Amino acid sequence: MLRQGGRGVKESDYEIGFTTGENDSDIFRFVIDPEAEIRKWEYVTIAGKGGKIIGRVEKLTSFSDIMQENTDYRTISKLHDVNVRQVVDIAVARSVGTIHKDGSVSKGNREFIRPGTGVKKSSVEEMKILFGYDSNNSVILGALSNYSTVEVGASINGMRRHVAIMAQTGAGKSNAAAVMIEELVRKGATVVVLDPHADYALIKADKEMADFTKVMKTPMSTGRYGKELNAVTEIFSLRFQDLSEEDLFNIMRIDDQWTTLKEIVRKIIADTRGKGSLDDFLAAFQAMDKGDRARIAGRVSLLKAIKPIFGNATTGIDTYLKPGQLSILDLSGLDQDITSYFCLKVINEIYDRKVSGEFQYPVFIFIEEAHNFVGRESIGKLPGLIKKIAAEGRKFGVFLVVITQRPGKIDQDVLSQCNSQIILRITNPLDQRAIEESCEGVSQSVINDLPSLNTGEAVLVGEFVRFPVIVKVRRRETREGGGDIDILPLLEKSKKLREEILDPDSNRDMIRRLSS
């Protein structure tokens, strides 16, 4: 006999339906009891010979043989009035995993699922077994969607083959990255964040994180810091004299084929009599003959535009690479080429330290807006270095977390090397196709789910989770630095100011004050 739940809904220990029609080991269908409640993405359990088969509901369909598409309104209205519907509700579920009788868990299902087999809602206990984690070896990213008490962990060792966080704007991408940063740092990880928009800089304001978080910004930063936090940030700068020829070529956007421009730069360097300052370099430029000066003027203007970043010393790697330290490099306010140069410098120094064995601890490098640094058609040293680390970095303990809102624009080799993914809402078909083509384990059903994800919901798939799973990512505990501006209070303030300006009495008062 079936017992009813507190609100007239059948409890999870009882059948909510029975399998029907043609089923296979991967996909099964079941007819639902009219009194039962089931939602898309919830989990159901079938008793198999070897244990419990767990499936995730991927589609819900309802139909009636007497109320067809061509049935007219009046007929359906009469049937409705006399409560004659003969509605059949069908759910389609995909086998996710099997909980065996000995308590072990395996992916998928290898048994027959025969018609007439009872289907139950999966219990919280079953979900904890299926998606359970070792708290010592995992980071907690959130809770299972539709099961708020079931926390979902991601294996830290599973991140050794890199992670991609992908979402369209406003879907929760930065929050998901911040949660992962918080969790990793608490485990003792060394984390370096390349932050083009100062989205993560306010992590330093959190009391628990402050002691092992270092925020470095350039003098051109546009990050929204308060006075208190601004006082504890450090300047990330370059000493012009420390730049090599190659550094100058990169900053001045002089590619290898532009040999004439390179020779002019070398001539300017020689005329400064060695390692001169930027002012010395500019003076030598002004003293050149008119022809060479005209040829290189546009490139020199790039140096003038970033003059504030040049200081008395170059920030050394020991400042931002320390065991267990979170280092956030605020690169806001810089144009893309200079941002790329700073990223190249930092990543290259970290990689060299790891390859040489000078730094023995694992390093996680978070690259925000990764499509701007390693795009599909990007060329140069930075894209090449990121590709190299994606392919070989795990051998040396350098692990990437690439964050992008345009997976369709990122280099597909890099994306395919990220064997674990956090995918939030994405509606752009080109981005969806890029994910499907590059990310092993992302099925068409996962792609189909992406547009309907709510803000903060994410699909976790890859080596860092046992099964693909939809989670509600928890809210970050630290403050957000680059969040959207709340425009409503500003609109109200602007409206009030406008009314004051147009108010005749206000104008007379202002004239009176000026004349007194």
d(CA 227, CA 123): 50
232 domain-assigned: no
Residues whose CB is less than 8 angstroms from the CB of residue 384 and which lie 6 or more positions away in sequence, other chains included: none
For residue 356, what is the domain's CATH number?
3.40.50.300
Position 499 pLDDT exceeds 60: yes
Mean pLDDT, residues 366-375:
93
438 domain-assigned: yes
Do 324 and 376 lie in one domain? The reply is yes
Per the model's pLDDT, the better-predicted residue between 445 and 197 turns out to be 197
The partner residues of 129 in beta bridges, in order of sequence, read none
Residue-level pLDDT at 227: 67
Residue-level pLDDT at 375: 87
9 domain-assigned: no
Mean pLDDT, residues 205-215:
89
d(CA 422, CA 366): 14
167 domain-assigned: yes
Residue-level pLDDT at 17: 95
Do 208 and 353 lie in one domain? The reply is yes
Do 323 and 342 lie in one domain? The reply is yes
Residue-level pLDDT at 6: 39
Do 180 and 289 lie in one domain? The reply is no
Do 32 and 163 lie in one domain? The reply is no
Position 468 pLDDT exceeds 90: no
The structure tokens 């810091």 sit at 225
Mean pLDDT, residues 135-162:
92
Q: Calculate helix-pair angle for 290-305, 278-286, nearest 10 degrees.
A: 150
Position 33 pLDDT exceeds 80: yes
Please provide the size of the chain in residues: 516
Residue-level pLDDT at 271: 86
Do 302 and 329 lie in one domain? The reply is no
Model confidence at 145, in pLDDT bands (50, 70, 90)? confident
Apex CA 345: angle with CA 344 and CA 347, to 5°? 65
When mean pLDDT is compared over 269-278, 303-312, 362-371, the highest value belongs to 362-371
Q: Average per-residue pLDDT in the chain?
A: 87
| pLDDT tens track for 427-464 | 999 999 888 888 777 778 788 888 989 999 999 999 99
The partner residues of 63 in beta bridges, in order of sequence, read 88
Residue-level pLDDT at 513: 66
Residue numbers of the domain that contains 385 = 158-221+315-447
Residue-level pLDDT at 492: 82
3-state DSSP assignment of residue 151: strand
Residue-level pLDDT at 482: 56
Residue-level pLDDT at 509: 67
The partner residues of 118 in beta bridges, in order of sequence, read 18
235 domain-assigned: no
d(CA 314, CA 320): 12
CB 393 within 8 A of CB 353: no
Residue-level pLDDT at 257: 85
457 domain-assigned: no
Residue-level pLDDT at 46: 95
The 8-class DSSP code of residue 3 comes to: P
Instruction: Choose one of 447, 470, 495: the last residue of a domain.
Output: 447
Do 42 and 175 lie in one domain? The reply is no
d(CA 29, CA 63): 14
| pLDDT tens track for 324-345 | 999 999 999 888 888 888 999 9
Dihedral angle computed from the Cα positions of residues 226, 230, 232 and 235, in that order, rounded to the nearest 10 degrees:
160
Mean pLDDT, residues 209-235:
81
The strands making up 326-330's β-sheet, listed across from edge to edge, are 147-155, 138-144, 469-473, 457-462, 420-423, 163-166, 398-404, 363-367, 190-195, 326-330, 213-217, 234-235
3-state DSSP assignment of residue 477: coil
Do 263 and 213 lie in one domain? The reply is no
| pLDDT tens track for 93-128 | 999 999 999 989 998 899 999 999 999 999 999 999
Position 299 pLDDT exceeds 50: yes
Do 366 and 414 lie in one domain? The reply is yes
Residue-level pLDDT at 9: 42
Domain count for the chain = 4
Apex CA 382: angle with CA 213 and CA 344, to 5°? 40
Mean pLDDT, residues 475-491:
74
Cα distance between the two ends of the chain: 91
Residue-level pLDDT at 136: 86
Do 273 and 422 lie in one domain? The reply is no
Do 47 and 125 lie in one domain? The reply is yes
Position 5 pLDDT exceeds 70: no
Position 480 pLDDT exceeds 60: yes
143 domain-assigned: no
d(CA 216, CA 233): 6
380 domain-assigned: yes
What predicted TM-score, i.e. pTM, was given to this entire model? 0.84
Do 304 and 325 lie in one domain? The reply is no
The structure tokens 């006082």 sit at 231
Residue-level pLDDT at 318: 93
SS3 per residue for 303-332: HHHCHHHECCCCCCHHHHCCCCCEEEEECC
